[in-house]
Amino acid sequence: MKTLYLSTSKQDMRIAAAIVRTGGLVAFPTETVYGLGGNALDPEASKKIYAAKGRPSDNPLIVHISDLSRIEELAARFPDNARKLAEAVWPGPMTLVLPKKDIVPDATTGGLRTVAIRMPADPAALELISLSGCPIAAPSANLSGHPSPTRWEHVRDDLDGRADAVIMGSPCVGGIESTVIDMTEELPQILRPGLITPERVTEILGVPCGYDPAILGRPDPALVPKAPGMKYRHYAPRAEMRLFSGERSRVSAVIKEEAERCRSLGKKTEVLMYEDSREAAERLFEDLRRADSEGADVILAMALPEDESVAFSVMNRMLKSAGYNIKQV
């Protein structure tokens, strides 16, 4: 298939919406990462998404809406707490898991009886959803296992010839995927950490909000994550990635020394260090992709101190990228 590259002009957005409406796939920008979208109510479109990404079919898709009133069509229940969160955060980087209605096909939810719903903040995403007139199922627009795409060029690198169209929108400002929150139980629970933190959820709802125990610490075969996607190895650069944690100046010195050693052995070596967790979120996936495209053999990265929730969210991705190769110095 030949992939169309579209701008965000009204005319191009109409073309993109027509592709979605007729069962095709369009990659589009969101404020978190780029998504690969298809009509969420069309099982054939969802199957095409899994095939294009090489995604395991038990890993459900997030359904994107542009208008809160569409929730009633998709979710069998919309508890008050979920509504409060939606009203406070959407459009924004938060996904709510709710019991699903029959209209949402099993192909979209990986056979689960729940559906994950989000309203993204990028204006082009909202326009695409409203012009196409249907909710849009969209996972990240990368090949399964690769770092998520935060620029349209990353989507081209992974999915050229596999998607009907790519919208050449803005780079993503958030940089990591949305916080996924289970709203099917009495209390909210975070299934995938992101930029919307448990503290923010508690501030909005006035009730405690914890993490799914399966996403704390290293993967444990005895604990199955409630978000099926969290069990897969993600974000893996081709290079060997190693993390170093400890006091900042010490880590910086150790990484510098190790980089010199690797380079002296003829290994192309990339160093990643961030000022804070926000900067790390925005740049991590882009930096991993750049290291790969420049042919790095080794990536040496400074771990973030997990003393606040956004740092925890970024470290969740960094640890997976590095295959849990982390050294305390």
Q: Which residues bind Mg ion (CB under 5 A)?
A: 140
Closest distance of CB 94 from Mg ion, Å: 16
Closest to Mg ion by CB, 76 vs 214, is: 214
C-beta of residue 135 within 8 angstroms of C-beta of residue 15: no
Closest distance of CB 141 from Mg ion, Å: 9
Q: How far apart are CA 219 and CA 122, in angstroms?
A: 33
Report which residue's Cβ sits closest to Mg ion.
Answer: 140
Closest distance of CB 88 from ligand AMP, Å: 20
DSSP bridge pairs for 298: 240, 269
Closest to ligand AMP by CB, 231 vs 268, is: 231
Closest distance of CB 175 from Mg ion, Å: 13
Closest distance of CB 329 from ligand AMP, Å: 32
Closest to ligand AMP by CB, 3 vs 30, is: 30
Q: Where do runs of H (alpha helix) occur along the chain?
A: 10-21, 43-53, 71-74, 80-89, 106-109, 123-132, 152-159, 198-205, 248-264, 277-293, 309-321
Distance of CA 126 to the CA centre of its chain: 17
Indicate which of ligand AMP, Mg ion, none lies near residue 309 (CB less than 5 to 8 Å, by partner kind).
none
Closest to ligand AMP by CB, 171 vs 246, is: 171
Q: How far apart are CA 245 and CA 151, in angstroms?
A: 29
Indicate which of Mg ion, ligand AMP, none lies near residue 286 (CB less than 5 to 8 Å, by partner kind).
none
Closest to ligand AMP by CB, 59 vs 130, is: 59
Residue type, 260: E
Closest to ligand AMP by CB, 178 vs 277, is: 178
Q: Which residues contact ligand AMP (rule: CB under 6 A)?
A: 59-60, 62, 97, 109, 112, 114-116, 139-140, 177, 180, 191-192, 226-230
Report which residue's Cβ sits closest to ligand AMP.
Answer: 229
Query: Quick one: 309 exposed, middle or buried, by C-beta within 10 A (0-12, 13-18, 19+)?
Result: buried
Q: Taking the CA atoms of 255, 258, 263 and 268 in sequence, report the sign of the dihedral they define.
A: negative
Closest distance of CB 123 from Mg ion, Å: 22
* DSSP-assigned letters across all residues of 208-256: --EE-GGGSSS--TT---SSGGGGS--S--SSEEEEEESSHHHHHHHHH
